[in-house]
A = this chain, B = another copy of it.
């Protein structure tokens, strides 16, 4: 009986972003838990059980995986991107805190992955090249007023802002409201990057400005990066412009 639980980041969709460490944990697992779309990205292995669950059942999924590992199985839970960023690692920790003592004694590994903002930033240039923040626009787990306060704080202090979970069928207006809020603090010319399904075959990356940014261009698979006053756009003759935030900041205009 020496089970373990590995919380594994798959990266954002391209198998070339799956780290060797993540691949090794997946290969060693007797059972893999996760959202169905992520399980499809785990290489098949004979005798390995798959337990798919809905995207909104993180707590129940974490508890099921912990129970299974506590019985002595080698268990993996998968997350897209990095498991520590708006994903399964926090859910697993919360279940361990609330659960039986045996869960605290379990062999637990959190296995990092490329999180979406790093992949989108790489496609666009280097928009996260200076101080930045990552903020989830989902108000399922926090009040909208808190999100607004954080948008205000980040924009006025000069952080570049990566917006996770910008929009969904159940949350149709939040992204528009967030962009409107940011327009109070930042010039219309501030660069904005929409990165959709980066690393997948249906990838799309678009560079726009805060003045022109259209919430309708985003869906659940989109990660948005809103620049600071220092973020620049460099036109290129043969392709997409580069967006980058210089490493140096004067602080004068923020």
Q: List chain A positions with a Cβ less than 8 A from chain B.
A: 11, 14-21, 24, 58, 82-87, 89-94, 96-97, 101, 104-105, 108, 110-115, 118-119, 121-123, 125-136, 141-143, 145-146, 149-150, 152-154, 156-159, 232, 234-238, 242, 244-251, 254
Number of copies: 2
Q: Chain A interface mostly helix, strand, loop or mixed?
A: mixed
CB of A126 within 8 A of CB of B247, answer no
- Chain B nearest CB: distance from A22 CB in Å? 9
CB of A146 within 8 A of CB of B251, answer yes
Partner of A115, one of B83, B118, B145, B150: B118
CB of B112 within 8 A of CB of A119, answer yes
Partner of A234, one of B96, B115, B119, B234: B96
CB of B142 within 8 A of CB of A126, answer no
Of the candidates A58, A96, A251, the one having the most CB atoms from chain B within 10 angstroms of its own CB is A251
Question: Quick one: closest B residue to A133, CB to CB?
Answer: B133
Partner of A244, one of B89, B118, B154, B236: B89
A84 to B131, CA, bound (A): 11
13 further interface pairs, Cβ-Cβ under 8 Å (given A84-B122, A142-B248)? A16-B20, A19-B114, A86-B130, A90-B126, A90-B129, A94-B247, A96-B234, A97-B242, A113-B114, A131-B136, A143-B251, A149-B157, A153-B156
- Chain B nearest CB: distance from A124 CB in Å? 8
- Chain B nearest CB: distance from A133 CB in Å? 4
- Chain B nearest CB: distance from A52 CB in Å? 20
CB of B146 within 8 A of CB of A90, answer no
A152 to B154, CA, bound (A): 11
A146 to B129, CA, bound (A): 16
